[in-house]
């Protein structure tokens, strides 16, 4: 059975964990009826957690969403990111790999994260050969890479302009520009750290379109390329239990009544949201008409086929069309 909207089954749960992208946010704005649905749950006394696979800290995500109308304690109680968990691990110097138990230096792929590593025991280096591990940042394309791969320029979407109104930062629809650095990392056998396991994210690009969004490459795709070459990848975020345990600890520390049997995860991605919910023994609720799964369905895949590919038990999934309904 496929339910129309979340409110059709909300009586079954006290705690609701929402993914962001593809569930209530499409990279440009909110899906129809989502804010109203979340506000209604808060008014009912439910606990609402927004759980994002994002290297950004939750304090920065608050600032991103608030101007668009997503308000703490009106629409949600907690906003938690995989970046928050990584920041805690960095603060306590818990980053460790089987081949390098006590790393000190790191090299960055993609966007640096000076904030999360600031004043930490880990120091960024400019040469890959000097690094104990590689940090996988958001895989943006910078001008040097843009010039190196002219055959892919139609796959690069501008996200930032300089003072002369010229693009200086791009999203990418393809992973090819990262192939060479991945080969070098694998050759040197340097482990990697990733705090966003998502393969793609649905993002708006107002510099080229005010109305459309695209599924662009994210950190998890680079992590998968490295794993496929035998690189050890330490990962924080959905579907891993570490992020769900961090959520449960945060709620419990606030003295809020919490029961896994009355907790659900609402997501659009079977590989991360749904698998992570099952691993953590909470109810998985899959959105069919929004986000990643809707794209897979449009490509001709069934939910059963996606579940088989991701080694997920289809019969344990609760399906809804969307949070706010059609």
Q: Domain boundary at 175, 201, 235, which?
A: 235
Q: Are residue 208 and residue 249 in the same domain, yes or no?
A: no
Domain annotation covers residue 326? no
State phi, psi for 25 to the nearest 5 degrees: -130, 130
Q: Are residue 260 and residue 229 in the same domain, yes or no?
A: no
Show the domain range for 289. Answer: 2-53+243-320
The arithmetic mean of pLDDT across residues 54-58, rounded, is 95
Domain annotation covers residue 301? yes
The arithmetic mean of pLDDT across residues 268-295, rounded, is 97
Write down the pLDDT at residue 257: 82
Q: In CATH, what number is assigned to the domain containing residue 219?
A: 3.40.50.1000
DSSP 251-273: HHHTT----GGGEEEEES-IIII
Q: Are residue 98 and residue 231 in the same domain, yes or no?
A: yes
Beta carbons within 8 Å of 322's beta carbon, 6+ residues apart: 5, 31, 32, 33, 34, 287, 288, 289, 290
Q: Domain boundary at 235, 269, 297, which?
A: 235
Give the model confidence (pLDDT) of 103-123 as tens digits: 999 999 999 988 999 999 999
Domain annotation covers residue 251? yes
How many distinct structural domains can be found in the chain?
A: 2
Domain annotation covers residue 276? yes
Write down the pLDDT at residue 273: 98
| pLDDT surpassing 90 at residue 79 | yes
Beta carbons within 8 Å of 161's beta carbon, 6+ residues apart: 167, 168, 207
Domain annotation covers residue 88? no
Q: Are residue 221 and residue 259 in the same domain, yes or no?
A: no
Task: Check: CB of residue 176 under 8 Å from CB of residue 199.
Answer: no
Q: Are residue 28 and residue 145 in the same domain, yes or no?
A: no
Domain annotation covers residue 59? no
Question: What three-state secondary structure class fits 300?
Answer: coil
Task: Check: CB of residue 46 under 8 Å from CB of residue 291.
Answer: no
Q: Are residue 226 and residue 256 in the same domain, yes or no?
A: no
Q: Which residue has the tokens 């993002």?
A: 203
Write down the pLDDT at residue 207: 92
Give the model confidence (pLDDT) of 204-259 as tens digits: 899 998 788 899 999 999 999 999 999 999 999 999 999 999 999 999 999 988 89
* Banded pLDDT at 286 (limits 50, 70, 90): very high
Q: Domain boundary at 201, 235, 269, which?
A: 235
Burial readout 215-238 (b: 16 or more C-beta within 10 A, e: otherwise):
bbbbbbbbbbbbeeeebbbbbbbb
Continuous H helices in 19-109: 34-43, 58-65, 82-91
The token duo for 284 is 């998985």
Q: Are residue 215 and residue 263 in the same domain, yes or no?
A: no
Using CA atoms, how far apart are residues 264 and 252, in angstroms rounded to an integer? 16
Q: Are residue 270 and residue 152 in the same domain, yes or no?
A: no
Taking Cα atoms as reference points, which of 82, 295, 101 lies closest to residue 200? 295
């Amino acid at each position: 059975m496929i339910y129309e909207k979340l409110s059709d089954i909300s009586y079954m749960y006290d705690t609701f964990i929402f993914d962001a992208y593809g569930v209530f946010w499409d990279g440009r704005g909110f899906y129809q009826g989502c804010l109203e649905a979340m506000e209604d749950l808060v008014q009912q006394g439910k606990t609402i957690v927004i759980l994002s696979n994002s290297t950004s800290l939750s304090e920065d995500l608050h600032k991103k969403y608030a101007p668009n109308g997503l308000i703490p304690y009106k629409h949600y109680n907690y906003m938690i990111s995989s970046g928050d968990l990584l920041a805690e691990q960095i603060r306590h110097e818990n980053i460790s790999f089987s081949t390098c138990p006590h790393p000190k230096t790191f090299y960055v792929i993609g966007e640096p994260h000076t904030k999360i590593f600031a004043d930490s025991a880990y120091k960024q280096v400019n040469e890959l050969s000097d690094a104990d591990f590689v940090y996988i940042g958001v895989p943006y394309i910078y001008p040097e890479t843009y010039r190196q791969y002219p055959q892919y320029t139609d796959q690069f979407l501008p996200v930032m302009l300089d003072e002369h109104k010229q693009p200086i930062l791009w999203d990418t629809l393809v992973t090819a520009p990262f192939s060479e650095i991945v080969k070098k990392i694998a050759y040197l056998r340097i482990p990697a750290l990733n705090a966003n396991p998502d393969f793609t994210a649905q993002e708006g690009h107002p510099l080229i379109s005010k109305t459309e969004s695209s599924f662009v490459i994210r950190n998890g795709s680079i992590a998968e390329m490295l794993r496929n070459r035998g690189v050890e990848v330490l990962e924080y975020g959905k579907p891993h239990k570490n992020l769900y345990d961090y959520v449960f600890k945060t709620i419990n520390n606030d003295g809020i009544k919490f029961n896994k049997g009355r907790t659900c995860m609402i997501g659009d991605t079977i590989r991360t949201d749904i698998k992570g919910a099952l691993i953590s023994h909470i109810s998985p609720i899959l959105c069919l008409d929004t986000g990643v799964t809707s794209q897979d369905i449009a490509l001709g895949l069934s939910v059963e086929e996606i579940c088989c590919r991701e080694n997920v038990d289809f019969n344990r999934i609760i399906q809804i069309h969307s949070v706010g309904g059609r």
